[in-house]
Structure 1
């Protein structure tokens, strides 16, 4: 590997991704209790860009059900999964993406660059995914597996999508309060929930040597394009977060059962004038493989469910009033969510004409 993994003792004040307990973020909580939660999450966003969120509103039973549906989906035959193929090109993120279709990278462009896109794909991402959004999003309409093939899948995922947004709404309110905005709904007013993305991810098992020799990748280092990301992960491990203080070093985001791994996305970093950090992260070898030896080592499969929360497309991302001053002017020009999304998406998917 070209970058180094370290044990979780470099990021944050205590050397770990902070754990933020949301049990006191309730309508009947005192202002002091709510402010404690707000300050804790903003501190995590400033020092690491990541936080574990515990005691959130999605029950363990509901999460187990979501992962069970994910496994049912990815256990389908290739022909069944291709009943809902990802649309051609990079403008829409919906439906099923087979291994090798998507290439995650940090590359950004405002025009097609087939040469760069081809170069990025010299190492294939070994994963498959299924993306969904709001049923009211006409720009990115959902592409569903047939109800006859997977009965009940669509109705569950539509409900789960909005349950996730309920938690995201509380996170936005806490962040707004924590960075000193007078209205705790300031950020939420720009996020209707209709421009979000719910993704089911499956990383198949593969030989450990294929990852070590960089014949394949699981998910290369990148930042997220969203405002925030909420991630539910299984117990496999493999998610790693870059050390802000030592670029190029990564530490494990060790799974905590039923916790959300929340991270700041690029747009919230721009909004906050770099006060909140959009930190690079990747998925690579899970820790279990460190204890396996020999030429036939196999990296176990991994499931995760990220929920990307983005502002509505016309929203303009410009510096928040509490994040700028005469001595700290805005670092970024205003940009619409749609334009930023287009530049980041350009390199992730090639159109069929590129092959």
Structure 2
């Protein structure tokens, strides 16, 4: 019946207007299917994609920071734990470390840093030594330094490779001279350690021994104070200093401790002419009880009554000079 057909969208075959059922268009006007809906991780702006990108960024940041974090501590040139890298930060500190030949793996530079003479000096020193420059955003440097004022420069110092106390005996044997070793008991100032290393190298010692715990380690500050001597003289770390001294005694070395109330003075001390370990304690507490009891002899440095004690760096330097003088006279 006219006007009552169930077919919709009919058109005259000769007409160019109106919809056509089921064609989807022709040629260039044909409709293209979009295929299956992609997973959320691949859809721009989807919550799953944002979560995946955030996880990828965290992974990249973790890899970038690997080996750069200190095990603990803070401030400029703080000391990390055994086997950890150290960070030196702040423009003056970084420049001094680079110019002092402190070993370094990389110099991290803040993006868009405001340059001054110190920044240029740091770039020049790093370039001269072949140290790679790594650009990093400020938030990353803030995280690396624990929020301290890094001023846009962070220097990564590799962990120091300590010798074993027995290695110092091998050093002495290879030199053909009687062993001359310095041991430090409870010295916590890295600058004192660096000064002792410098004096030990200057007066012909075969190495320095330090305890593993409650003592200064070979940090950037110690390297700088040693004025390059740390690259030539081995520093050994002992798990137990008393046992290390006992092992030296069994190897034929005399253990001489420095103490304000020592029973002998260092002047013309015959013990310094043979195989010897010179033990210096901290300025405040001196030698610990066990180390003091282990010493074969305790000696004092004669001083005026106005001065009670010397720090470990100065005291060790005085005794090492005396040892070198007496050894030169003997042989």
Q: What TM-score comes out, normalization by structure 1 length?
A: 0.21
Richer in helix (by share): 2
Of structures 1 and 2, the larger Rg is shown by 2
Richer in strand (by share): 1
Q: What TM-score comes out, normalization by structure 2 length?
A: 0.22
